[in-house]
């Protein structure tokens, strides 16, 4: 069932509920971590940096709202799902600034968790996919994960090994200007004896012809950079 690399931290002081839900969560997530109190929760968060956190509002040592507040101060992106009893609903007024993805009233039925987790995983997957794409000039896109150059017609463009290394270097640091030496060290790797400045000019020239577009700017006496506002 698992088709993602996402992780979850489940914070619940009731050992029966932890034992009941951890195997269920493991059906959805690549990694599932658990904590029984606020101190352990913060330690687990810092150790594992999970994508999603499900926490009870009432947990020992440090309550759930304070745990969520401390985590949110460090990370505005992590998904927080708060569990609360009917009697604790008023406390959620203090959680407005925590940007909770959802709060659930206990007891929670399995199908409620399933619906929320499925929707949350889909949202995370779309976000990760978007983060892996860098938009270049000329309508081209670079897929960082696959190191693939995609045309404005969504076709994959065949690249040589050196072209791929060159594009990966620039797309990993799209705001940087790279000198000839920078490019030499990263693209020619262990073939530096086979390098000369003409070969560098040739690789840029061939890419320009292949793409029918120049996606690089040449900075006189400095180096090269990607075109565009990143």
Which residue ranges make up each domain of the chain?
7-131, 133-226
- E strand or H helix at 56: strand 52-56
Looking at every residue in the chain, the average pLDDT score rounds to 88
The mean pLDDT value for 4-8 works out to 88
Q: At what angle do helices 64-74 and 38-48 cross, to 10 degrees?
A: 20
Give CA–CA dist 125/203, Å, rounded.
35
Helix (H, G, I), strand (E, B) or coil at 14: coil
Give CA–CA dist 144/163, Å, rounded.
14
The pLDDT tens digits of the residues spanning 173-218 come to: 999 999 988 998 888 876 666 667 788 889 999 999 999 999 999 9
For the domain spanning 133-226, the CATH number is: 1.10.10.10
Give CA–CA dist 172/211, Å, rounded.
20
Among 58-67, 90-99, 125-134, 141-150, the least confident range:
90-99
Where would I find the H helices in 82-142? 110-131
> Does the pTM exceed 0.85?
no
Architecture of domain 7-131: 3-Layer(aba) Sandwich (3.40)
- E strand or H helix at 24: helix 15-25
Contact 11, 34 (CB under 8 A): yes
Dihedral, 64, 70, 71, 75 alpha carbons, nearest 10:
150
Give CA–CA dist 135/171, Å, rounded.
9
Nearest by Cα to 83 from 134, 41, 135, 128: 41
The pLDDT tens digits of the residues spanning 72-123 come to: 988 888 999 999 876 666 666 666 666 777 888 888 888 888 999 999 999 8
- The residues pairing with 117 across neighbouring beta strands, listed in sequence order, are none
Which pLDDT score, from 0 to 100, does residue 166 have? 95
Helix (H, G, I), strand (E, B) or coil at 101: coil
């Amino acid at each position: 069932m698992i088709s993602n690399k996402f992780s979850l931290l489940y914070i619940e002081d009731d050992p029966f509920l932890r034992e009941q839900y951890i195997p269920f969560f493991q059906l959805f997530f690549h990694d599932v971590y658990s904590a029984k109190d606020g101190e352990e929760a913060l330690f687990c968060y810092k150790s594992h940096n999970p994508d999603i956190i499900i926490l009870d509002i009432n947990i020992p040592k440090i309550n759930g709202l304070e745990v969520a507040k401390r985590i949110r101060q460090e990370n505005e992106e992590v998904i927080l799902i708060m569990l609360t009893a009917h009697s604790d609903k008023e406390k959620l007024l203090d959680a407005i600034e925590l940007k909770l993805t959802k709060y659930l009233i206990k007891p929670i039925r399995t199908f409620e968790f399933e619906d929320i987790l499925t929707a949350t995983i889909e949202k995370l997957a779309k976000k990760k996919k978007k983060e892996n794409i860098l938009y270049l000039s000329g309508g081209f896109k670079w897929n960082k994960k696959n190191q693939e150059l995609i045309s404005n017609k969504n076709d994959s463009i065949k690249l040589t090994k050196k072209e791929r290394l060159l594009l990966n270097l620039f797309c990993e640091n799209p705001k940087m200007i790279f000198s000839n030496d920078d490019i030499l060290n990263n693209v020619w790797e262990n073939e530096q004896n086979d390098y000369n400045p003409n070969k560098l000019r040739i690789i840029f020239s061939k890419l320009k012809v292949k793409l029918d577009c120049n996606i690089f700017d040449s900075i006189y006496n400095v180096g090269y950079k990607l075109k565009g506002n990143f």
